[in-house]
Every structure is written in C-alpha cells, then in structure tokens.
Amino acid sequence: MTDFKIAPSILSADFARLGEEVDAVLEAGADWVHFDVMDNHYVPNLTIGPMVCQALRKHGVEAPIDVHLMVEPVDDMIRMFADAGATYITFHPEASRHVDRSLQLIQSLGCKAGLVLNPATGLDSVRYVVDKLDMLLLMSVNPGFGGQKFIPATLCKLREARKLIDDSGLDIRLEIDGGVTRDNIAEIAAAGADTFVAGSAIFNADDYAEAITAMRSALKN
C-alpha cells in the first residue's frame, strides 16, 4: 500500500499565529509541513525565510519540514535552510545554473533533495539527475500564490513522472502542489502522486482535522 503523505502549505496559515497553526494541523493529522519560500524575483510574491523555519523547530515542531524554494539563485538559501532544520529542500531547475551541483549540495548537508517542475516545464530536466532525487514535485498551478485552481494537464504529467520513477527503481517521492482538494485528491493519487501539498483546502477549513480526514478517506477509496 502506498505511504501517502499530506503536507499542509503554511502559505495559507495565519502568519500572526504561525506556531499555533502548525501545531494545529499536525495535531489534526498532517504528516509534513510544506514551507513556501518566495523571493519576489523568481515568483511575484514574497514570503518567509530560514529564520522562520528555525523558529518553528525551536517552537518544538518535529515533523518533516518540506521547504519549497521559489527563489533564484538557490545555493545560499539551500545552505541557510539546511542550517535552519529543513528536512526536504526542493528548487526549480530554472533557478539554478548547475542543477546537479545544487542537488548534491542539499544531500551533502544532510537534507533530502528534490526538483520542482512548473506546469509548462517538461520532465526532460529531471531525466539525467534522477539518481540524485529524493523527491520530484510537480506544480499543478503556476507558483507564487495559494488558492489557485488545479491545472488538469498535470494528471498526464503525473502519469509520465510515475513511470519515470518506477522505471528508475529508486525510492523517490512524487509530490503534487497546487489546487489539491478533497474532491480531486483521489484522481491525483490514481495518476501517481504519493505526497499532497494542500494550503487553502486545509487552512481555509473551519475544522482542520475534518479536512485532513476527508482527504485521507478519499485516498482509501
């Protein structure tokens, strides 16, 4: 049976009460914390940096922190987030001049490494670095904002990515990010994803546990 993981994106959390919000989603059954880092350069929005990741660790968060870098360039941020307690660090191939080197840097710092593909980016950019991936993240919206609608063409790309991973014989998670809801999560899992980022679908719900349980139930059917 697939080991599904649900990773609430704190982009949709109440930043004024971030520690409490993260505690609440973990208590409600979330597996990971998805941490969106935006630099107003690679994407047209600005969010949070390594000090906030470190603060969450200091606050007592022990769950995996899945750092999604939407910054350019990436290597300095990789070093800072590794120091700050990140578990996974993923970045967009367009944002690094030397993708293979940046992946190696993440792993050399003791973190798990991943690449993130935008909706219009093909799988070709991962083909020759598959052996250096712990995770492949497919964006199902254009990066920069929460609350957007899932782009249906991602389902076809997920199937291709699943085949690429299975053919490699390696242990690589396949994560999906953007517009994931209780209504489409089963279809997304059927296309091959095993790790689900959900921001607005969880943090905009009145009851986080009910929202996460509904997603898990959909994954079981």
Ligand X SMILES: O=C(CO)[C@@H](O)[C@H](O)COP(=O)(O)O
Work out whether 36 is an interface residue with Fe ion (CB under 5 A): yes
Catalytic residue (one of 39, 66, 134, 177): 177
36 included as an active-site residue: yes
Which listed residue (31, 36, 39, 134) is catalytic? 36
User: Is 93 near ligand X (CB under 6 A)?
Assistant: no
Binding status of residue 39 toward Fe ion by CB under 5 A: no
Q: Shortest Cβ distance from residue 7 to ligand X (Å)?
A: 9
Q: Is 201 in the site for ligand X (CB under 6 A)?
A: yes
Residue 184 contact among Fe ion, ligand X, none, beta carbon within 5 to 8 Å by kind: none
144 binds, among Fe ion, ligand X, none (CB under 5 to 8 A by kind): ligand X
* Active site annotation includes 177: yes
Q: Which does 141 bind (CB under 5 to 8 A by kind): ligand X, Fe ion, none?
A: ligand X
192 counts as binding ligand X under rule CB under 6 A: no
DSSP string, the chain: ----EEEEBGGGS-GGGHHHHHHHHHHTT---EEEEEEBSSSSS-B---HHHHHHHHHHT--S-EEEEEE-SS-HHHHHHHHHTT-SEEEE-GGG-S-HHHHHHHHHHTT-EEEEEE-TT--THHHHTTGGG-SEEEEESS-TT-SSPPP-TTHHHHHHHHHHHHHHHTS--EEEEESS--TTTHHHHHHTT--EEEESHHHHTSS-HHHHHHHHHHHHH-
Contact 12, 203 (CB under 8 A): yes
Name the phi and psi angles at 89, rounded to 5.
-130, 120
Is the Cβ of residue 170 or residue 182 nearer to ligand X in the bound state? 182
From the list 176, 181, 179, the residue with the least C-alpha distance to 194 is 176
Q: Which of 53, 95, 138, 180 binds ligand X (CB under 6 A)?
A: 180
Contact call for residue 176 and ligand X (CB under 6 A): no
Binders of Fe ion in range 166-205 (CB under 5 A): 177
- Residue 198 sits in the site that holds ligand X (CB under 6 A): yes
Alpha carbon separation from 62 to 85, 87, 131 (Å, rounded): 10, 10, 28
* Known binding-site residue numbers: 9, 34, 36, 68, 144-147, 177-179, 199-200
**Which residues contribute to the site for Fe ion (CB under 5 A)?**
36, 68, 177
**Which residues contribute to the site for ligand X (CB under 6 A)?**
9, 11-12, 34, 36, 68, 141, 143-148, 177-180, 197-201
* Known binding-site residue numbers for a divalent metal cation: 34, 36, 68, 177
Residues labelled as active-site residues: 36, 177
